[in-house]
């Protein structure tokens, strides 16, 4: 795998985010809001909050493979091992008094003045935030979103817009500031630019060979998750886009000798990113695109209509939709990225972001005439993942790709 040199700038950008949160927590230089990954972050930034994203923190715990120590602490409090392992990892780490943010000088997660959720992705985020709300005795507010939408209607958008407007008085009281609508518009403009830049980065993988993979994307999406709406995220993605475009121009491959291309649907398996990335590289297979990395592309955001466009963006997301639009979306991605097959991750503790349980892999395989693979695993709980089984399944799947596309180059074994 050819490493991206932008990684140094990525580290600096993410470090800036965590240091700002650390300053706010210690010196009270700004109020702190916790926000779900696709929550109304633009509103929070416009009100002057430093914004912390616990899902990002949970992913860091998964990638560090420390989750296994933390989850049982929360299971012992009556939270089921079957619910979101992000939730149980994060709360378990808090109760254990440990965090990877120590590397950025923080002694713990920055305590929230308010927690703001959107249930567009799942109910777990609300339950997660309510645990901290009880602990710290601070407000927990949010948007209760409709789900499984076939079409996003004007009524749906009206309803969510009203709910976002309803958050403003509480947030103003916590922030001690009135919302400046021009500032909100500027933040939404910056957020839209972040979305466009991130999309441009991901789209470079439509070229053959792909200059980045899904596994690179899970790391480089950090600023799109935690810093959208800020210039520092946009500055970072200009650097990354330039590097990726240069790679396309030079024909530099993320996977040298790329023979096959895949699409990944579902959550990453954070504790096995490197192992899986190495395994696919062994088979000269580029996982060129994914629903997950695409989930931080928000084409609806519009500075001329900030709140309403935020509502629409939150409702048009893949995870909020029913099977039909999800299948149409994946079909479009299969064509755009010219992939040979689709890997569906059946994430044990995240049924919300697993599209394996109502027949979709079979339907898409039949309709598109390409193989699909369902990989059992979990976002953080590695008890649900078997290295041996994954290797056997992926090896068999690549053989299927070879049969389906005999002209493709031969598989390379270790």
Query: Would you say 244 or 267 has its CB closer to ligand SF4?
Result: 267
Taking the mean position of all CA atoms in its chain, how far away is CA 223?
11
Q: Decide: is 310 part of the binding site for ligand SF4 (CB under 6 A).
A: no
Q: Is 234 in the site for ligand SF4 (CB under 6 A)?
A: no
**Rounded-to-integer distance, Cα 318 and Cα 284, Å:** 29
Of residues 130-149, those binding ligand SF4 (CB under 6 A): none
Q: Which stretch binds ligand SF4 (CB under 6 A): 117-125, 275-283, 328-336, 405-413?
A: 117-125
**Unique residue bearing structure tokens 């009556």:** 78
Q: Distance (Å, rounded) from C-alpha 221 to C-alpha 123?
A: 24
Runs of H (alpha helix) within 176-305: 181-203, 214-220, 222-226, 231-250, 273-282, 291-294
Instruction: Write down the least CB distance from residue 345 to ligand SF4, Å.
Output: 11
User: Taking CB under 6 A as the criterion, which residues in 247-286 touch ligand SF4?
Assistant: 267
- Tokens read off for 42: 């633009």
- Pick from 379, 398, 401, 402: which binds ligand SF4 (CB under 6 A)? 379
| Closest to ligand SF4 by CB, 36 or 204 | 36
Asked if residues 349 and 82 have their Cβ atoms less than 8 Å apart, the reply is yes
Q: Which of residues 318-377 bind ligand SF4 (CB under 6 A)?
A: 350, 352-353
Q: How many CB atoms lie within 10 A of CB 158?
A: 12
Q: Angle, nearest 10°, between helix axes 154-175 and 306-316? A: 120
**266 CB burial (10 A radius; 0-12, 13-18, 19+):** buried
Instruction: Out of 124, 193, 281, 381, name the contact with ligand SF4 by CB under 6 A.
Output: 124
Using rule CB under 6 A, residue 293 touches ligand SF4: no
Nearer to ligand SF4, 197 or 269 (CB): 269
84 is an interface residue for ligand SF4 by CB under 6 A: yes
- Taking the complex as a whole, the smallest distance from the CB of residue 172 to ligand SF4 amounts, in Å, to 27
Nearer to ligand SF4, 29 or 80 (CB): 80
Q: Which residue, among 143, 123, 119, 132, has the nearest Cα to 32 in the 3D structure?
A: 132
Site residues for ligand SF4 per CB under 6 A:
55, 84, 86, 121-122, 124-125, 267, 350, 352-353, 379
């Amino acid at each position: 795998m050819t490493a991206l040199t932008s990684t140094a700038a990525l580290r600096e950008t993410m470090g800036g985010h965590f240091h700002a949160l650390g300053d706010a927590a210690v010196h009270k230089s700004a109020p702190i809001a916790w926000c779900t990954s696709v929550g109304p972050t633009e509103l929070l930034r416009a009100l002057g909050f430093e914004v912390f994203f616990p899902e990002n923190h949970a992913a860091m715990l998964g990638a560090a493979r420390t989750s296994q120590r933390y989850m049982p602490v929360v299971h012992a409090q009556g939270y089921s091992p079957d619910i979101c392992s992000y939730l149980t990892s994060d709360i378990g780490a808090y109760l254990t008094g440990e965090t990877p943010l120590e590397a950025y000088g923080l002694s713990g997660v920055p305590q929230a003045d308010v927690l703001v959720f959107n249930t567009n992705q799942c109910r777990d985020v609300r339950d997660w935030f309510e645990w901290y709300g009880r602990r710290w005795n601070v407000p927990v507010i949010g948007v209760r979103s409709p789900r499984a939408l076939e079409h996003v209607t004007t009524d749906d958008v009206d309803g969510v817009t009203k709910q976002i407007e309803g958050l403003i008085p509480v947030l103003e009281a916590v922030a001690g500031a009135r919302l400046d609508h021009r500032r909100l518009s500027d933040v939404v403009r910056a957020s839209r630019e972040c979305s466009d830049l991130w999309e441009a980065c991901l789209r470079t993988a439509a070229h053959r060979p792909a200059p980045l993979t899904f596994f690179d994307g899970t790391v480089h999406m950090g600023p799109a998750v935690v810093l959208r709406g800020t210039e520092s995220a946009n500055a970072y993605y200009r650097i990354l886009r330039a590097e990726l475009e240069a790679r396309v121009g030079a024909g530099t491959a993320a996977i040298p000798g790329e023979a096959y291309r895949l699409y990944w649907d579902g959550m990453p398996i954070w504790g096995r990113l490197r192992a899986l990335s190495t395994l696919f590289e062994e088979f000269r297979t580029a996982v060129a695109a994914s629903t997950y990395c695409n989930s931080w592309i928000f084409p609806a955001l519009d500075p001329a209509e900030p709140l309403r466009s935020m509502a629409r963006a939150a409702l048009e997301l893949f995870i909020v939709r029913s099977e039909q639009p999800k299948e149409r979306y994946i079909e479009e991605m299969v064509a755009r990225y010219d992939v040979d097959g689709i890997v569906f991750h059946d994430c044990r503790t995240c049924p919300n972001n697993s599209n394996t349980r109502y027949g979709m892999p079979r339907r898409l395989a039949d309709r598109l005439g390409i193989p699909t693979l369902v990989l059992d695993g979990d976002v953080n709980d590695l008890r649900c993942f078997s290295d041996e089984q994954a290797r056997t399944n992926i090896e068999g799947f690549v053989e299927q790709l070879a049969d389906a596309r005999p002209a493709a180059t031969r598989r390379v074994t270790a």
